[in-house]
Structure 1
Amino acid sequence: MTYESAGEPPRIVVVGSGFAGFECARRLSRSLRGTGARVIMVSPNDYMLYTPLLPEVAGGILDARFVTVALSDAMPAVELVRGAVDSVDLDKQTVHVTDCEEGEEEVSWDRLVFTPGSVTRLFDIPGLLEHGRGLKTPAEALYFRDQLLTQLELASRDTDPRESQARRTFVVVGASYAGTELIAQLRALADKAAARQHLDPAAVRFLLLDTADTVMPEVGEKLGAKVLDVLSSRGIDVRLETTLTELSENSVTLSDGTVVPTRTVAWVTGVAANPLVETLGLPTEKGRLKVGADLSVEGHPGVFAGGDAAAVPDPRHSGSITPPTAQHAVRQGRTLARNVAASLGIGEAKPYAHRDMGLVVDLGPGFAVANPLGIQLSGLPAKAVTRLYHLFAMPSPVNRWAVGLAYLTDLLFDRPLVSIGLVAESPSQFAASEGVGARN
């Protein structure tokens, strides 16, 4: 059915306000302008979160507002339904939505764009849900900043040396780019806090764990080795082929049997598709919804999917699917917009194709690694490329301005050591921040 032959203007419902959903809805609102078509986004948030900069929020360089793009400002023509999608009825062409006050609503659609994103990948480890924290929401990022500053302050007043050391020990699980960025930023924040307390920075202990045998395999062996050297030079204890087997309020147990007293554990070990995928009853691959090269769902005309929740074929590697990265999600959002519009008789559909532009990873003061277009960079040149990339990729002029000023401030002044106390323990837990439980 094309737009021209439809009895009424179509309703396009986009589930999720992450990179893929945001880019799709924004472009659709432009390409369908003047047609009468309604673009409706369903999301529990009224913003798109620029997740790559969450480590810098945790490290105190950026305010959480700077990495949240207001949907009403970025795409005023898109209707926003704030709430969580509980279920999708493919036969009736409706989605069931529950808002923050438990109000319920059925939203009908003629075209469905399924982009609910991902959640932190969890395992059935005793104590993980209660005592671990992820890094996918502003609440979690703010928790780490406040937690670090609070624990260091409490440690300075604790009369028990063992308790004091536990408060000054921070454990991060996951040596991929997100976990490595997080521990580097927290290390820099801790160094500034230690200087304020006239404390030897070496008294603040950081432990980075990963089951892999290399740090940041995404950037290659050469850059990975440089990252390891920098982390070690900053006093970060990197333990590869090691993970956690148990967490308690005051300690963690490592897979080699070592017990480490600590009050702070970051779990940054990757992502899993949103649990909503499992409720659809459709074919999946690696837990993600299977789609065709044009991002359509086979057997369900008018249904499309992309981003972290979709198993999108990777044309560069036959038989594989694209990894769950922001870079792919943004470009899949553009393809989704084009192909949804084409299904309404506007323009032509095209299969998804994307050339990898490389990774950029900020590792705190004076250092970063990047491999733009295969060119390997480290140190200050990579730092400049990394910050320029984020400023370019940020989809809002206001946010670019705010982040740019924050970067300039970081060059001229010390990062602020302020524990605002906005995030208590319960809002930052996995169940509250993402609504998920343990999964294998």
Structure 2
Amino acid sequence: MSTTERPRILIVGGGYVGLYAARRILKKMRYAEATVTVVDPRSYMTYQPFLPEAAAGSISPRHVVVPLRRVVRGAEVLTGRVTTIDQDRKVATISPLVGEAYELPFDYLVISMGAVSRTFPIPGLAEQGIGMKGIEEAIGLRNHVLEQLDKADSTTDEEVRRKALTFVFVGGGFAGAETIGEVEDMARDAAKYYTNVSREDMRFVLVDAADKILPEVGPKLGQYGKEHLESRGIEIYLETSMDSCVDGHVVLKNGLEVDSNTIVWTAGVKPNPALARFGLPLGPRGHVDCNEKLQVNGMDYVWAAGDNAQVPDMVGRRAGNPNAWCPPNAQHALRQAKVLGDNVVSGMRGFEQREYSHANKGAVAGLGLHKGVAMIVMGKVKIKLKGRLAWYMHRGYHGMAMPTWNRKIRVIADWTLGMFLKREVVSLGAMETPREEFYEAAKPAPAPAAAAPAPEKAKAS
């Protein structure tokens, strides 16, 4: 970490907002005008809309992440966590990957920590659940599902086989519906190479507490998505929830009980709980309370955007809804980050800042290869698409939204190769414990047991 007399702009979080805000600030700033410091536990940003495709093997996992140091050249990138912030002293406490925590002073602050999985105190969830917020989880899910097929193919125990081939997904929003669609597609392809496993042997279950899935694309497309998934043999249970999943025994509120080794949790997100230690005004759901200029209310040196911010939706408010807020999606995060970057530079120079305003352009979702739904908003007209055309819209939109041309080209190359080559169905679960085999070979051999003393010969009488 460099020391400098220049003002420091501290960006907490290197996700979508943090990455784009840092790039925007560096682009707009004059030479040596300020020091930009980005702090994140990971040295890369993850493009989360591509996690389902990474889990299904349609995109290489490395192409879904963007290395921060390569993209935000000119900024300090610290790999660690901001644990607390003293707003009176304008000092943040940094906990690095190794070593002692230290204090870092700042002059301007950007909060872009994103969100974490929203969970509930369900017995067994912490031990059995698999999330879908990071690339590590997507890789782990892919390896885990293929490993279950390996187990089922090689065992003669029917109970073990049935548990291995049952896959439960909790949450029917974008993450849940897209992930179960992609994973079912992958498992269907993989089953062709197994002697003792077919798609008919597998059981996919999707559970949601709401009365519909994919609410972001509207009721009609959501209903189409539900019917499409059901036509592929996926069981969908709405207006129900999971009561427990201890040792993989899943108990649903509707009375259904199944045994499963695979429980994927995608039931929504919540703001990062670390925000409570930052001395910031928070909304009722834990988001940072911002005004229409993305500035934290009552703090003229702090800005926030993205999933961890409560930002007024000015388009909705002008239309007569005084309680309209921007939804937590990539569409808003990208545009907010650019306005935020401009406003930080303007605020640093004492100039007027601009308001964030963006009309919703619609939503797209992929449900596996060549399958999807899309709602495109053009003014007052809503265009609804489904099937292959919607899938092309999904890939086209997210392909262009992927940060940097380097990553766009790599993702498109993966898609192009996928048109001509079959999907890989290899489980690399051993990646999670790469040293295990070497350890077994290198560990000291156990000491030989002491020889028992020979029995004395019977004395001659």
Report the TM range for the smaller structure's normalisation: over 0.9
Match of 2:367 among 363, 378, 383: 363
Structure 2 counterpart SS, 1:91:
coil
Contact 1:313/1:321 (8 A) holds in 2:
yes
The answer to whether 1:375 aligns with 2:375 is no
Structure 2 counterpart SS, 1:12:
strand
Structure 1 counterpart SS, 2:247:
coil
Q: Deviations over 1:102-143 (max 9, x none)?
A: 432211111000111110001011111111111001111011
Match of 1:96 among 69, 87, 93: 93
Structure 2 counterpart SS, 1:260:
strand
Match of 2:416 among 408, 415, 421: 408
Return the letter of the residue paired with 2:267.
T
Q: Residues 423, 125 of structure 1: CA spacing in aligned structure 2 closer, same or farther, 3 A cutoff? A: farther
Q: Deviations over 1:215-266 (max 9, x none)?
A: 2111112211211121011111111112110012232111122210100000
Match of 2:209 among 208, 211, 221: 211
Return the letter of the residue paired with 1:183.
I
Q: Deviations over 1:322-360 (max 9, x none)?
A: 111111111111111111111122764111111111111
Cα deviation for residue 35 of structure 1 reads 4.2
Greater displacement, 281-290 / 259-268: 281-290
Q: Residues 102, 375 of structure 1: CA spacing in aligned structure 2 closer, same or farther, 3 A cutoff? A: farther
Contact 1:142/1:423 (8 A) holds in 2:
no
Match of 2:402 among 372, 375, 394: 394
Residue-pair matches, total: 419
Match of 1:22 among 10, 19, 24: 19
What is the rounded CA distance, in whole Å, between the counterparts of 2:12 and 2:25 in structure 1? 14
Cα deviation for residue 195 of structure 1 reads 0.8
What is the rounded CA distance, in whole Å, between the counterparts of 2:402 and 2:104 in structure 1? 30
Q: Deviations over 1:352-411 (max 9, x none)?
A: 111111111111122111112232111111111111111110111111111101111222
What is the rounded CA distance, in whole Å, between the counterparts of 1:389 and 1:218 in structure 2? 16
Return the letter of the residue paired with 1:272.
K
What is the rounded CA distance, in whole Å, between the counterparts of 1:101 and 1:332 in structure 2? 33
Q: Which runs of 5+ in 2 are unaligned?
A: 317-321, 434-461
Match of 1:256 among 254, 257, 275: 254
Give the equivalent residue in structure 2 for 1:436.
none
Contact 1:366/1:383 (8 A) holds in 2:
yes
Contact 1:139/1:423 (8 A) holds in 2:
no
Give the equivalent residue in structure 2 for 1:433.
none
What is the rounded CA distance, in whole Å, between the counterparts of 2:351 and 2:87 in structure 1? 25
Greater displacement, 374-383 / 415-424: 415-424
What is the rounded CA distance, in whole Å, between the counterparts of 1:82 and 1:264 in structure 2? 32
Question: Considering only CA atoms, is the larger Rg found in Structure 1 or Structure 2?
Answer: 2
Give the equivalent residue in structure 1 for 2:42.
45
The answer to whether 1:105 aligns with 2:105 is no
What is the rounded CA distance, in whole Å, between the counterparts of 2:97 and 2:46 in structure 1? 19
Contact 1:143/1:423 (8 A) holds in 2:
no
Contact 1:57/1:142 (8 A) holds in 2:
yes
Cα deviation for residue 8 of structure 1 reads 5.2
Return the letter of the residue paired with 2:53.
E
Give the equivalent residue in structure 2 for 1:9.
6
Give the equivalent residue in structure 2 for 1:181.
178
Q: Deviations over 1:45-86 (max 9, x none)?
A: 111110000001111111211010111221211111110110
Give the equivalent residue in structure 2 for 1:247.
245
Q: CA RMSD for the aligned pairs?
A: 1.6
Give the equivalent residue in structure 1 for 2:220.
222
Structure 2 counterpart SS, 1:249:
helix
Q: Deviations over 1:184-239 (max 9, x none)?
A: 11101111111111433111110000011112111112211211121011111111
Cα deviation for residue 423 of structure 1 reads 5.5
Give the equivalent residue in structure 2 for 1:134.
131
What is the rounded CA distance, in whole Å, between the counterparts of 2:421 and 2:302 in structure 1? 50
Q: Residues 363, 227 of structure 1: CA spacing in aligned structure 2 closer, same or farther, 3 A cutoff? A: same
Give the equivalent residue in structure 1 for 2:313.
314
Q: Which runs of 5+ in 1 are unaligned?
A: 1-6, 426-440
Greater displacement, 250-259 / 111-120: 250-259
What is the rounded CA distance, in whole Å, between the counterparts of 2:421 and 2:111 in structure 1? 43
Q: Deviations over 1:87-116 (max 9, x none)?
A: 111111111111122432211111000111
The answer to whether 1:83 aligns with 2:80 is yes
Q: Residues 238, 247 of structure 1: CA spacing in aligned structure 2 closer, same or farther, 3 A cutoff? A: same
Match of 1:34 among 25, 31, 34: 31
The answer to whether 1:195 aligns with 2:192 is yes
What is the rounded CA distance, in whole Å, between the counterparts of 1:276 and 1:339 in structure 2? 24
Structure 1 counterpart SS, 2:429:
coil
Greater displacement, 120-129 / 281-290: 281-290
Match of 2:348 among 340, 344, 355: 344
Q: Residues 416, 346 of structure 1: CA spacing in aligned structure 2 closer, same or farther, 3 A cutoff? A: farther
What is the rounded CA distance, in whole Å, between the counterparts of 2:253 and 2:164 in structure 1? 22
Structure 1 counterpart SS, 2:216:
helix
Contact 1:69/1:399 (8 A) holds in 2:
yes
What is the rounded CA distance, in whole Å, between the counterparts of 2:201 and 2:73 in structure 1? 51
What is the rounded CA distance, in whole Å, between the counterparts of 2:5 and 2:299 in structure 1? 20
Give the equivalent residue in structure 2 for 1:438.
none
Cα deviation for residue 148 of structure 1 reads 0.4
Return the letter of the residue paired with 2:420.
L
Cα deviation for residue 316 of structure 1 reads 2.5
Structure 1 counterpart SS, 2:192:
helix
Give the equivalent residue in structure 1 for 2:296.
297
What is the rounded CA distance, in whole Å, between the counterparts of 2:110 and 2:192 in structure 1? 50
What is the rounded CA distance, in whole Å, between the counterparts of 2:156 and 2:85 in structure 1? 56
What is the rounded CA distance, in whole Å, between the counterparts of 1:179 and 1:243 in structure 2? 14
Contact 2:281/2:296 (8 A) holds in 1:
no
Return the letter of the residue paired with 1:20.
V
**Identity of aligned pairs, percent?**
36
What is the rounded CA distance, in whole Å, between the counterparts of 1:134 and 1:276 in structure 2? 19
What is the rounded CA distance, in whole Å, between the counterparts of 1:292 and 1:96 in structure 2? 26
Cα deviation for residue 301 of structure 1 reads 2.4
What is the rounded CA distance, in whole Å, between the counterparts of 2:270 and 2:44 in structure 1? 21
Contact 2:128/2:248 (8 A) holds in 1:
no
Return the letter of the residue paired with 1:407.
W
Contact 2:85/2:279 (8 A) holds in 1:
no
Q: Deviations over 1:251-285 (max 9, x none)?
A: 21111222101000000011000011112343322
